Amino acid sequence: MRLLFLGDMVGKTGRTAVWERLPGLVSDLKLDFVVVNGENAAGGFGITEDIFLETISAGADVVTTGNHVWDQKEAVVFCERHDQFLRPANYPAGTPGRGSNLFFARNGARVLVANVMGRVFMHPELDDPFKCAEAILEACPLGEQADAVVFDFHAEATSEKQCFGHFVDGRASLVVGTHTHVPTADHQILNGGTGYISDAGMCGDYDSSLGMDKEEPLNRFISKMPKGRFEAASGPATICGVGVEVSDRTGLAEKIAPLRLGPRLAETIPDFWA
């Protein structure tokens, strides 16, 4: 199975780039399943229902989120209407929406996708992500109820991300770190067969500060005084993500490589799909 995960869409330039390029990627690379993190898609803060629907129409099978999931207040309402929209699963019981779900890929495979948020340097501090993941895997184990399992681990600390990857190693097809918006170079297949990367990066303008116009963040570092609001950068976007070849027999990763398309970073498409 060919699975693609795209990192956080940031603002109009990021989401537009995904909408324009994703249909061609699905077709040209013969992708079976696509996950996109959309928590920064609405001006850098949250996601609207229209943006969510457009992302699904472009070819995403699931849209995950993170700590900015509720920045657009309408998300509290529309999250209940769409099975393909995920918020972090370790929010307290009774929180609107869902944190994991089972989906069908284009090749008919059953794909469990779970969105979990870390706790180190993160706000709000949610329930234990490790216990949450354990419960998710016990309810829908790889090789039984699911043919593939994907975790979007939305977290700041790379140590927490790596430990989470080792925690589910051999029980998940892929663990992708999101949130920090900078693509890491540590894509690998862990000892138990789980594909892993600490951060997929973002889909947005890299002539920026994490996808935001760089002037105000720079001002705050220098002066410690706000002059205005953070605004999403509006230059040409680079799409960042990770591609994985998942075994139809075991549900574990056989190949993993980054995907980057755009003007600022060196372009690369997984060579096993080229």
In terms of DSSP bridges, do strands 8-9 and 62-64 run parallel, antiparallel, or are they unpaired?
Answer: unpaired
Q: Which residue has the tokens 């570092």?
A: 221
68 labelled catalytic = yes
**Of 57, 101, 109, whose CA–CA distance to 79 is shortest?**
101
Catalytic-labelled residue, pool 68, 154, 179, 181: 68
Strands (E), 159-252: 174-178, 188-189, 195-197, 202-203, 239-246
Q: Quick one: tokens of 251? A: 């549900």
Question: How many residues in total does the chain contain?
Answer: 274
Q: Which residues pair with 249 in a beta bridge?
A: none
Q: In whole angstroms, what separates CA 229 from the centre of its chain?
A: 25
Q: In whole angstroms, what separates CA 150 from the centre of its chain?
A: 10
Rounded CA separation 274/271 (Å): 5
**What amino acid positions are annotated as catalytic residues?**
68
